[in-house]
Amino acid sequence: MKKGVPVSPGVAVAHAYCVDEVITSHEPYTLDDAHLSAEVSRFERACAAVIRELDDTIARVTKQIGDEEAAIFRAHRQLLRDPTLLNKVKARICEKKLDAASSLRETLEEYAALFRQIPDEYLQERLADLRDVVGRVVVQLSRDEQPEKPLAFQEPVILIAPEIFPSQAALIDKRWIAGIITETGAATGHAAILARALGIPAVSGVRGILREVKTGDLVALDGREGHVYINPSTEVESAYRKLAREYVDFSHRLIENHEQEAISPDGVRVELLANVSGVADAQMAGQAGATGVGLYRTEYLFLTHPSVPDEEEQLAAYREVIEAAPNKLVTIRTLDLGGDKHVTYLGTRKEANPFMGFRSIRLASAYPEFFQAQLRAILRAGRYGQVSLMFPMISQLEEVQRIKRVVHRTKMSLQRSGIPFAENIPLGIMIEVPAAALCIDELLEEVDFVSIGSNDLIQYLMAADRDNPQVAHLCEPFSPALLRLLARVIRACQEHQKPVTLCGEMAGWPRCALALFGMGLRRLSMSCAAVPMIKELVRRTPLTQAEEIARRVLTMPTTGEIRGYLTRKVQEIWPNVALVDMRH
């Protein structure tokens, strides 16, 4: 048995599918003589298609961001017109009778071996460019070839990977993934957030598991305890299959409350909202019983787009999410890129600590036209529902004042052009930097609402990267410092009569939600899968009891004491919660 960090509740027993770096891979295959000419032509068509994509990207980046930033894509286009590179690939196809994708990869490795002999930083960057170009062509080739697909499973599997990145999320099909195990990460990491959003049991931080498991091995995982069994005994397998059935049955019974309101026994209403990344999530929010979308992460539109989504494409995407959301109620967050979420056209700066670097709202001043295109699209989309506009990664008052001036100028531009938009859209900010939490009173004078992003707030408060397994244990939602800071922010919002929502992952954890309810929080936004669970907890918990629990928690000096106390209290209120809650 291996022990990891429990990050998404549930139990699964299935065969393993191990991946090295990405979700999909390509198996080389040989060709007969009759198909060599056709394969060369297929390679040429793929290169031409990528050049067209790059031309489109160059035009959009030049228009929205700047000519200098588009230079990297012009260099990529030039690589695809390099006769030496192209001829090497074609020679491999014809002489080795190898498929185009494999020939391209072999050529890349030939270049890589040459570049490694010359330790020059400029050449290393050119190699990175070449890898990017090769990846684009391989993706293009994969669209029309028909070899056996590694993810064409006959049954659901447990995916085992070193890490899962945001840009890979779209590749996961819930129907075929019974569970997820990663070597790195923590309960607030991206793999964890993804798994909870999809309702997939998951364990992170299982170091070295890829050295011990091979594809096809039977694996049992418990996303509540963080336990992973490799090729379990018959007795363990039987016990875990029984637990898995119990979990599924209980989850199905729980979701039957989707039409009920989240009202405590003493009549206090809590608004349960959903965190979404696209229209499918927004549709799922209604099915789960959420009353709206508390956080729409717009960056996933950019991460999955082949180039740069223009204003009209953004407008269409935002409108689709708004119209699919429960009550057409949506809080749209502007781009939260940087850290571990990158798009090539915003540059590839090397930063010692990217999570505390040039990211999120800090990009807006560097790329004003790019930022304004998104603002225009959101303001125009605001006419189709109850829409609020929110800015992430705020750290000081001057940022808010500057952003408000940009929003005003954007509105004036739309007005002069005669383009209809939401004139009175509420403006809010995310509280995820401790500096903003400490200056909350001044910030509340400038905004209509705030949302607390507890995931980043925890790691910034504790100076610990939540995806680093060596320090992830410090990113505890039961930290006394975190809970006291949250209580301060909630109290300030009440005094200023401004709405406050917590939209981090702790909103969907019963023990945390119990304390937050007692602190006075009445709006929680979480993964769709967590909505029925938190609704059930609210319906079982009198406010008077929650307030007493919160008072006790805020006097406790250690994380362990708070965790243990909340565990006991939530189980007293709802004995069956152990089936769906994670045991940190």
Catalytic machinery residues: 190, 503
290 with 531: CB under 8 angstroms? Answer: yes
H, E, C per residue of 397-456: HHHHHHHHHHHHHHHHHHHHCCCCCCCCCCEEEEECCHHHHHCHHHHHCCCCEEEECHHH
- HSE at residue 209, side-chain half, CA atoms within 13 A, is 33
Amino acid making up residue 441: D
Best CA proximity match to 166, nearest among 368, 302, 4, 333: 302
Phi and psi angles of residue 351, each rounded to the nearest 5 degrees, phi first: -125, 140
In 140-297, the DSSP E strands lie at: 157-161, 177-182, 202-204, 218-222, 227-230, 271-276, 293-297
Question: How would you classify the pairing of strands 293-297 and 271-276?
Answer: parallel
Alpha-carbon distance of 312 to 376, in angstroms, equals: 10
Helix axes 36-64 and 368-381, enclosed angle (nearest 10): 90
- Amino acid letter, residue 92: R
Specify the 3-state DSSP secondary structure of 387: strand
Rounded (5°) CA angle 172-175-180: 55
Cβ neighbors of 570 (< 8 A, separation 6 or more) are: 510, 511, 514, 537, 577, 581
How far apart are the C-alpha atoms of 459 and 518, rounded to whole Å? Answer: 24
Neighbours of 65 (CB within 10 A): 22
Cα 38 to its chain centre, rounded Å, is 40
